[in-house]
């Protein structure tokens, strides 16, 4: 067997005295794809950030190709051929795609930037990633999936031989995930070593050679993937058996709580019509750019509508701002938790009560009431943080998502629009969220569930609407809610045959 490219021994990391990694010792072999699994807050990102020079370890050693190295900054790591695709975007939104990709490694001719070459190379890279992104497009105009592709391209441009991917697929749809996996296979064939974090066990099974499992900052096991099934992985990760991921579906009532008619936005949405029943989980499926997020944002008054009427509980309503939407007990959990959901330099209570603050104000904010309520959410969703005063930026990705969900639940919504709510959430918590949604349904809420994960759409929805390019392509119920039917509509095959 070849000698390891990367050796970690006794890696310890503490944040202001709190130990989040306990003496991790791990060898990574050249050309392998090593999966790293663990619950939210287990320490996966922290470990990989140490390898890529973003965090400095408290103690322990890292060796690359047998030599002990001192990683102080991402530049050190880059020099050693280590590149990272971070969990949260690290792009400059006022710059365009190629400028971001070459940020810090600009190609110059003489004193000047060689924009032409950079643009061409970006074009090549994006072609390899099979996206039709324009190298000149501004980052702020891109969807999250497109931003993710830019992050991937950015990591590739440095020709790294150790590539770290922290949940690269969470924001991608199946199609893009397939492209990414083909790319990983190609890189692997070139001898590149890949460290891969994901909460999607199926992907891990499919892509990885070996699997390291972390629990509460300890390395629990290191196994060959062959011979493990998804259930085994989940069990090792959580420490116990996981049963019944999806709750039983319940039957929705007759009553319509939300009716959307003729909703159109020029160039974005075309004549959207649908109804949501009380107690229903209405799934929205489709590929990237299908217009699901735009539909949700239009309903919430976050986007200008060119036409369209809304009825809530049978009454015609005008919603031109999120303030009006919240007053109607509508809630929208955005797919972009960092860009649209959370204030990262605020602590946990201030984030959770940002929308519902009125409920805590009697002239002044009643901070003890606020904290009491927040503690309930922290235990309900098992939010892991050093303390309530922890700023959101210092929470793990999955725990941020739980804070975001709490923030909307505190508005006591009646109609809840969830846009990729389980993004970056571990299997165990995912299960908790599914059961929580079922609980909400039992409490009389109605849910619009937007997701790119077919499995959860199928597992949860009473009815599924499939969108494509801003149009509704079909509506599925009962037995028709299956992968084949959904993909068929999402690919637009209905129109061609008609």
Partner 1 sequence: MSKIDWSKYAPLIALIVLVAISAMASEHFLAARNISNVLRQVSYTGIIALGMTFVIIAGGIDLSVGSMLALVGVLTVMILNAVGEGWFAVVLAIGAAIALGALFGLINGAIVTKGRVAAFIATLATMSIFRSLTLYISDAGEIVSTNQKYPDVGGGYFLSVPNPVWVFLSLAIIFHILLNHTAFGRHVCAIGSNATVSAYSAIKVKTIYLITFVITGATVGISAVMLSSRLNSVSPGDAGLFYELDVIAAVVIGGTSLAGGKGTIWGTVIGVIILGIINNMLNLLGVSAYLQGTVKGLVILVAVLAQYKQTR
Ligand X SMILES: Nc1ncnc2c1ncn2[C@@H]1O[C@H](COP(=O)(O)OP(=O)(O)OP(=O)(O)O)[C@@H](O)[C@H]1O
388 to 427: interface string for partner 1, x by CB under 8 A: -x-----------------x--------------------
Region of residue 484 (left: phi > 0; alpha: psi -120 to 50; beta: else) = alpha
Q: Least distance to Mg ion from the beta carbon of 266, Å?
A: 39
Question: In the set 354, 369, 380, 487, which binds partner 1 (CB under 8 A)?
Answer: 354
Q: Least distance to Mg ion from the beta carbon of 168, Å?
A: 12
Residue 359 CB partners (closer than 8 Å, separation 6+): 353, 410
Give the Cα separation of 153 and 376 in Å (integer).
42
Residues 25-44 contacting ligand X, CB under 6 A: 38, 40-44
Asked whether 38 and 426 are in contact (CB, 8 A), the reply is yes
Residue 205, CA distances (Å) to 40, 188, 260, 443, 456 in order: 19, 16, 41, 37, 18
Give the Cα separation of 469 and 232 in Å (integer).
39
* 179: nearest Cα among 149, 157, 159: 149
308 forms part of the interface with Mg ion (CB under 5 A): no
Q: Least distance to partner 1 from the beta carbon of 343, Å?
A: 5
332 forms part of the interface with partner 1 (CB under 8 A): yes
Give the Cα separation of 351 and 406 in Å (integer).
9
- Choose one: 81-89, 175-183, 184-192, 320-328; the region binding partner 1 (CB under 8 A): 320-328
357 forms part of the interface with partner 1 (CB under 8 A): yes
321 forms part of the interface with partner 1 (CB under 8 A): yes
235 to 264: interface string for partner 1, x by CB under 8 A: ------------------------------
288 forms part of the interface with ligand X (CB under 6 A): no
Asked whether 71 and 77 are in contact (CB, 8 A), the reply is yes
361 forms part of the interface with partner 1 (CB under 8 A): yes
Dihedrals phi, psi of 139, to nearest 5 degrees: -60, -40
Q: Least distance to ligand X from the beta carbon of 269, Å?
A: 33
- DSSP structural state of residue 138: B
411 forms part of the interface with ligand X (CB under 6 A): no
State the burial class of residue 401 (Cβ atoms within 10 Å of its Cβ: 0-12, 13-18, 19+). Answer: buried
Residue 468, CA distances (Å) to 48, 260, 291, 303 in order: 37, 17, 7, 19
195 forms part of the interface with ligand X (CB under 6 A): no
Where does this chain bind partner 1 (CB under 8 A)?
A: 16-18, 302, 321-323, 325-326, 332, 334, 339-346, 350, 354-355, 357-358, 361, 363-365, 367, 386-387, 389, 407
Where does this chain bind ligand X (CB under 6 A)?
A: 15, 20, 38, 40-46, 87, 384-386, 394-399, 424, 426
């Amino acid at each position: 067997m070849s000698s390891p490219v990367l050796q970690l021994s006794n890696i310890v990391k503490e944040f202001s005295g709190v130990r989040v990694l306990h003496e991790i010792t791990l060898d990574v072999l050249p050309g392998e794809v090593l999966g790293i699994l663990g619950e939210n807050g287990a320490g996966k990102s922290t470990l990989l950030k140490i390898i890529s020079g973003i965090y400095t370890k408290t103690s322990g050693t890292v060796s690359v190709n047998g030599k002990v190295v001192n990683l102080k900054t991402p530049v050190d790591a880059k020099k050693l051929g280590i590149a990272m695709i971070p969990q949260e975007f690290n792009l400059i939104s006022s710059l365009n795609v190629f400028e971001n990709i070459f940020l810090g490694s600009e190609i110059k001719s003489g004193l000047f930037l060689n924009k032409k070459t950079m643009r061409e190379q970006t074009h090549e890279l994006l072609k390899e990633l099979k996206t039709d992104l324009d190298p000149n497009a501004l980052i702020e105009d891109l969807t999250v999936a497109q931003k993710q592709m830019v992050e991937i391209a950015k990591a590739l441009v440095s020709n790294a031989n150790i590539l770290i991917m922290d949940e690269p697929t969470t924001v991608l749809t199946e199609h893009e995930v397939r492209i990414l996996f083909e790319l990983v296979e190609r890189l692997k064939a070139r001898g590149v070593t890949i460290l891969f974090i994901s909460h999607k066990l199926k992907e891990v099974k499919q892509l990885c050679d070996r699997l390291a499992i972390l629990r509460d900052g300890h390395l629990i096991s290191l196994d060959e993937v062959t011979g493990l099934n998804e259930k085994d992985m989940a069990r090792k990760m959580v420490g116990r058996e996981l049963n019944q991921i999806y709750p039983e579906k319940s039957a929705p009532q007759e009553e319509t709580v939300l009716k959307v008619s003729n909703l159109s936005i020029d160039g974005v949405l075309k004549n959207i019509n649908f109804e949501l029943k009380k107690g229903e989980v209405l799934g929205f499926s489709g590929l990237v750019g299908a217009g699901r997020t735009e539909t949700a944002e239009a309903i919430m008054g976050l986007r200008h509508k060119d036409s369209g009427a809304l009825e809530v509980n049978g009454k015609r309503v005008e919603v031109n701002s999120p303030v009006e939407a919240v007053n109607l007990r509508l809630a929208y959990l955005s797919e972009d938790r960092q860009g649209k959901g959370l204030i990262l330099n605020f602590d946990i209570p201030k984030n959770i009560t940002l929308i519902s603050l009125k409920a805590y104000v009697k002239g002044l904010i009643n901070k003890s009431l606020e904290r009491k309520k927040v503690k309930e959410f922290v235990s309900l969703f098992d939010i892991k943080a050093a303390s309530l005063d922890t700023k959101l930026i210092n929470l793990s990705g999955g725990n941020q998502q739980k804070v975001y969900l709490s923030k909307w639940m505190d508005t006591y919504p009646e109609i809840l629009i969830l846009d990729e709510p389980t993004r970056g959430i571990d299997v165990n918590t995912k299960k908790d969220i599914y059961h929580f949604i079922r609980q909400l349904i039992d409490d009389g809420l109605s849910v619009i569930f937007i997701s790119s994960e077919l499995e959860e759409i199928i597992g949860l929805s009473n009815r599924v609407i499939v969108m494509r390019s801003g149009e509704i392509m079909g509506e599925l119920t009962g037995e028709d809610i299956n992968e084949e039917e959904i993909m068929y509509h999402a690919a637009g095959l209905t129109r061609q045959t008609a």
